[in-house]
Structure 1
Amino acid sequence: MRLTFPRTGRLLAAAGLVSLLAACNSAGRPAQYSALEGYVPDPALKTASKNNLSGRVRHACTVTQAKLQKVEEASLAAPCGCYAERTLSSLDKDEIASYRSTGYFNDSARAKALNALDSCKLPRPV
C-alpha cells in the first residue's frame, strides 16, 4: 500500500508513532528513556494545533494497533479516534506542554493514555 501523505505528513505521523510507542513501552522501566537517546522531537509539535496533535496521536495509534492486532489500519479508525480524543482531553496544560517539547508522553500523561486504551477497548502494547 502506497502512502498518499506528503513527506511532511509522513514525518508527522512517524513522530506521533514514536511518541505513542515511547509512552506505552516505557511504563515501569527504570531506565525508561534510554531507548530514546538521539531522538529529536519534531519542531512542529511546539506550534501544532490541538487538532493536529489529535491527528498525530490517532495515526500513531492506528499504526501501532494494526501491527499489534494484525488487522488493517482502516478498521481502527473509530477506536483510535476514541483513544486520541480521550487521551488529549484528559491531559492538563503541563502534560501537553511536556508532549510538545519532548515528543512523547510524560509519566502522568502515559498513565492517562493507558487508561484511554482500556476505555476504548484497545489492547495495551507489551
Structure 2
Amino acid sequence: MTRRFSMLIAASLLALGATAALAGGSSAPFEQYQPDPALRTAPKANLESRVRHACAVIQARMTSATEASLERPCGCYAKQTLRTLDESEIEAYRTTGYFNDSARAKALSALDSCKLQRPV
C-alpha cells in the first residue's frame, strides 16, 4: 500500500471512532482519541461522507448486512444528523472527532428515523 492510501485508511478509521462514540452513547472511551486534523477544515459534504461511511461499517457489523446494502439508510442518517446539528455541535465534532452529548441525541433520533439499529 502507498503511504497516501494508508493515511486514507487511518482517517477512515478515525471517522469510525467518531461514530462509534456516538453509537456507544458515551464519549468516555474516546477521550484519548486524536481526531484527524483534516476534520478542522473539511467541508460539510466531506463530514457527511465520513459519517455515512462509518455508519455503513458499524451497521454492517451489527446486522451482518453488506456495507453496500446500507448506503441508502446510512446516507439518510448522515444527511439528517448533520442537517440537525447546530454550529457549536459541528465545531465540537471537528475539534474532538466525535459527537458531543447534544449531537449524539440528534444522531440517535436520526438512526430511528432512517430505520437503522441503535447500538446496544
Please, what TM-score do these two structures have when normalized by structure 2? 0.92
Aligned to 2:77: 83
1:1-126 equivalences under 5 Å are 6-25=5-24, 27=25, 32-126=26-120
**Matched AA of 1:111:** A
Scaled by the length of structure 1, what TM-score is found? 0.88
Structure 2 residue runs of 5 or longer lacking an equivalent are none
Report if aligned partners of 1:12, 1:56 keep a CA contact under 8 Å in 2: no
SS at match of 2:115: coil
Offset of 1:13 from its aligned partner? 1.5
| CA positional deviation for 1:9 | 2.6
Identity, % of aligned positions:
55
Q: Which runs of 4+ in 1 moved over 6 A?
A: none
| C-alpha deviation, 1:11, in angstroms | 2.1
RMSD between superposed Cα atoms in Å: 1.4
CA distance in 1, matches of 2:18, 2:114: 19
Deviation of residue 86 (structure 1)?
Answer: 0.1
| Structure with greater proportional helix content | 2
